[in-house]
Amino acid sequence: MAIKKPIPGAAAGTPPVTMPAFSFAPNDGLAALIVDAWGNKAFRDQLLERNPPNSMVPSAAAVQLATLSVNERCGFNLKRAVVISEKEHDSDYIMQDPDEVVFVLPNDTRLKTGFSPSSSLIETARVLMACTPNGI
């Protein structure tokens, strides 16, 4: 269960290297991004759009939205950001670009049913950022 990165210039058949998992200190912008993805199915679906469908290859539109959203909300200046699901992380997601920074969207199944976006969800997002490898 990890994020893997292909080795540039490696011989065919060389397995990708496993990237270290880490948790970023809680960030209000990232926490708000999680809450928005949990509460807005259209936004979440756009972040997790794959090409082809049901693959683990983010679409160009998903990469563009993730990069824009992460950079604007957090004041980052990343070249390429990607948001993946916990399932993709646990299935050994392979990075598509050597400059890619991968963020894992914590599963919304940990939330009580019938939630509505509120400040308590920000705190929930912060906790899940800390316990989800590479969690946003």
pLDDT at 100 (0 to 100): 92
In a domain, 14, yes or no: no
Tell me, yes or no, whether 80 lies in a domain. yes
Q: Evaluate if residue 12 carries a pLDDT over 90.
A: no
User: For residue 85, is it within any domain?
Assistant: yes
pTM confidence score: 0.78
Residue 133 has pLDDT above 70, yes or no: no
Structure tokens at 64: 């563009």
| Residue 11 CB-density burial (10 A; 0-12 exposed, 13-18 middle, 19+ buried) | exposed
Instruction: Please indicate, yes or no, if residue 50 is contained in any of the structural domains.
Output: yes
Inside any domain, residue 6:
no
Q: Is residue 9 part of a domain?
A: no
Distance CA 44, CA 33 (A): 10
Tokens of 95: 């990075």
- Least confident segment among 26-35, 55-64, 95-104, 111-120: 111-120
Tens digits of residue pLDDT in 44-83: 999 999 999 899 999 999 999 999 999 999 899 999 999 9
Q: Is residue 19 part of a domain?
A: no
Report the pLDDT value the prediction gives residue 110, as an integer from 0 to 100.
81
| pLDDT class of 115 with cuts at 50, 70, 90 | low
Helix axes 119-131, 28-39, angle to 10 degrees: 110
Token pair listed for 32? 């708000």
Q: CA-CA distance, 78 to 90, in Å (whole number)?
A: 24
Q: 13-41, pLDDT tens digit by residue?
A: 887 777 666 555 667 898 899 889 998 99
Averaged over 90-101, what is the pLDDT?
90
Vertex 107: Cα angle to 95 and 64 (nearest 5)? 40
When divided into structural domains, the chain yields a total of 1
4 within a domain of the structure (yes/no): no
**Domain span at residue 91?**
24-107+116-131
